């Protein structure tokens, strides 16, 4: 029985811990894909789930990376405003690579854990998997890319015209986010777009050392907007924000475990 993940548990590499992708390699046709495997777990059991990830999950994910299926993988935990409080992630070239990597990770975990394997259904009540296409993000310094980032905010939207949102990000908003990164307030920022499994089809993310740093960078970011800034409310309806803390990630070639 595959106990850690029901189908495929993957996640992010926007320049999340261990999954850096150079902006010049982020052309639309070569963008890597992300899948997030989210769980609603008993809050009292999250510590045990995290301990299992640190003890055996990271190494299992690393097996999928070493086999060439994933580019990076890890976990992030809810800090505020999201009922999905445990989220496993991985990044791969496409959905096939993500699923092949999940098989490799599951096999490595089962072999290492044996009878001690954690069954998430003993600790969690609901589960869902979602696939996303990563969009171009900011570029941090070499020092930032080698650091273990701790906190992330995700701003999710339900939009009727994703093309317009993408154009606004590329033509205007990305440069504003880059300025916040260049100022040292954020470590990274970017966007990912739903392809399957989630009604929230546009998701912006902002990464920094902690939540206060994210919020300080947000004030700078919003304060830099001019009258010609894109207005998401013209093509998007519902909106939600969530804050998360990263656990240890498994790294691809050239990365450092964070």
Identify the CA nearest to 101 among candidates 45, 34, 44: 34
d(CA 187, CA 137): 11
Under 8 Å CB-to-CB from 175, ≥6 apart: which residues? none
Under 8 Å CB-to-CB from 109, ≥6 apart: which residues? 3, 4, 56, 57, 60, 117
pLDDT of 219: 97
pLDDT of 148: 53
Alpha helices in 80-198 (DSSP H): 95-113, 142-146, 162-168, 174-182
* pTM of this structure: 0.84
What's the distance, Cα to Cα, between the start and end of the chain in Å?
29
Question: Alpha carbon 104 to chain centroid distance?
Answer: 20
Token digits of residue 113: 């854990």
Identify the CA nearest to 110 among candidates 67, 49, 59, 35: 59
- State the number of CA atoms in the 13 A half-sphere of 199 facing the CB: 4
Which pLDDT tens digit goes with each residue over 11-60?
333 334 333 333 333 344 568 999 899 999 999 999 999 999 999 999 99
Looking at domain 23-224+232-251, its CATH architecture is 2-Layer Sandwich (3.30)
Locate the DSSP E strands across the chain: 33-41, 70-80, 86-92, 124-134, 151-159, 188-196, 202-208, 236-246, 250-251
Token digits of residue 30: 């070569």
Spell out the domain ranges in the chain.
23-224+232-251
Residue 88 near residue 5 (C-beta atoms within 8 A):
yes
Which pLDDT tens digit goes with each residue over 211-228?
999 999 999 999 999 999
Identify the CA nearest to 4 among candidates 130, 118, 123: 118
**Confidence grade of residue 143 (pLDDT, cut at 50, 70, 90):** low
């Amino acid at each position: 029985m595959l106990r850690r993940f029901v189908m495929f548990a993957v996640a992010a590499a926007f320049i999340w811990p261990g999954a850096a992708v150079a902006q010049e390699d982020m052309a639309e046709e070569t963008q890597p894909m992300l899948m997030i495997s989210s769980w609603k777990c008993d809050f009292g059991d999250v510590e045990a789930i995290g301990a299992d990830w640190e003890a055996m999950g990271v190494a299992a994910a690393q097996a999928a990376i070493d086999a060439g299926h994933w580019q990076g993988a890890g976990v992030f935990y809810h800090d505020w405003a999201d009922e999905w409080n445990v989220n496993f992630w991985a990044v791969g070239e496409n959905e096939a690579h993500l699923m092949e990597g999940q098989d490799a990770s599951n096999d490595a975990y089962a072999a290492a854990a044996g009878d001690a394997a954690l069954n998430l259904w003993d600790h969690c009540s609901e589960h869902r998997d979602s696939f996303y296409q990563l969009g171009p993000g900011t570029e941090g310094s070499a020092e930032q890319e080698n650091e273990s980032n701790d906190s992330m905010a995700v701003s999710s939207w339900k939009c009727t015209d994703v093309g317009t949102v993408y154009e606004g990000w590329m033509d205007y908003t990305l440069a504003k986010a880059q300025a916040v990164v260049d100022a040292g307030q954020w470590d990274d920022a970017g966007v990912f777009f739903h392809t399957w499994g989630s009604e929230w089809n546009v998701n912006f993310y902002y990464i920094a050392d902690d939540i206060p740093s994210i919020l300080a960078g947000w004030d700078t970011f919003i304060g830099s907007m001019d009258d010609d800034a894109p207005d998401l409310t013209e093509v998007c309806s519902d909106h939600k924000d969530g804050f998360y803390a990263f656990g240890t990630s498994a790294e691809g070639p050239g990365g450092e475990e964070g």
